[in-house]
A = this chain, B = another copy of it.
Amino acid sequence: MIVITGFEPFGKYKINPAWELASRIDGLQIQKHQIRAIKMPVSFKKIIKMVPEIILKYKPTIFLGLGLAAGRIGLTIERVAINIMDSREPDNDGYQPIDEAIISDAPAAYFSNMPIKKIVKKLRLEGIPIAVSNSAGTHACNTLMFVALHTIKKKGIDAYAGFIHLPLLPEQDIKAKTPTMSLDIMIKGIKQALDVAIKDRL
């Protein structure tokens, strides 16, 4: 099974391309692995509680988080998650951590164990703009990625875990001030990324 999480809307954006995308590929099969899409609250505390539950319940082969990074030009696949929460505004539960560890007795960081360079190479061959990112930020996205990698490590689960940031959708930037990507291309990219990851595990 493949678990894809997509965040709910947050802040000034009324829709979140992460959940738009995840919900549209829910139930699809990638190399006979079924995709299960899960909507994630933009809540530090709920993420920290839910992610281990999801991983232990579904024991997925791949756990891939999706999130919005308004301003990024293409898909960006994250290399590393760091053990910190530092938020400029309160989350959807009203909680705003400043320079707080996600998990106090965990390491400073985890590198994604997904084949990020292979994914980048394949998507570029398909004509999809993508780059490696060295920072998933210090908000909900990084927290989800960190907790997923920590869970896999601590529980000895043989799975890939990673995170891909999405740009805004075109309809979210009609004044043409921030780069966007169409949902069709995002979906094509994520499906290809999962395909590369599944093949890499064989």
A177 to B135, CA, bound (A): 17
Contact of A174 among B127, B173, B182 (CB under 8 A): B127
Question: In the assembly, how many copies of this chain are there?
Answer: 4
B-chain residues with CB within 8 Å of residue A73 when the two chains form the complex: 173, 176-180
Interface string of A71-112 (1 = CB under 8 A from B): 011111001101010000000000000010000000111110
> Is there an interface contact between B80 and A82, defined as CB atoms closer than 8 Å?
yes
Given A108-B109, A176-B73: A127 in contact with B84 (beta carbons within 8 A): no
Given A129-B180, A180-B181, A184-B182: A74 in contact with B134 (beta carbons within 8 A): no
> Is there an interface contact between B72 and A79, defined as CB atoms closer than 8 Å?
no
- Interface residue A11 (Cβ < 8 Å from any Cβ of B): no
Interface residues in chain A, defined as those with a beta carbon under 8 Å from any beta carbon in chain B? 72-76, 79-80, 82, 84, 99, 107-111, 117, 123-124, 127-131, 133-135, 137-138, 170-171, 173-182, 184-185
Supply 5 A–B pairs (Cβ within 8 Å), ascending by A.
A74-B175, A79-B84, A108-B111, A130-B174, A131-B176
Other A-B pairs, 4, CB within 8 Å; known A75-B176, A135-B135, A184-B184: A73-B176, A79-B138, A84-B111, A179-B179
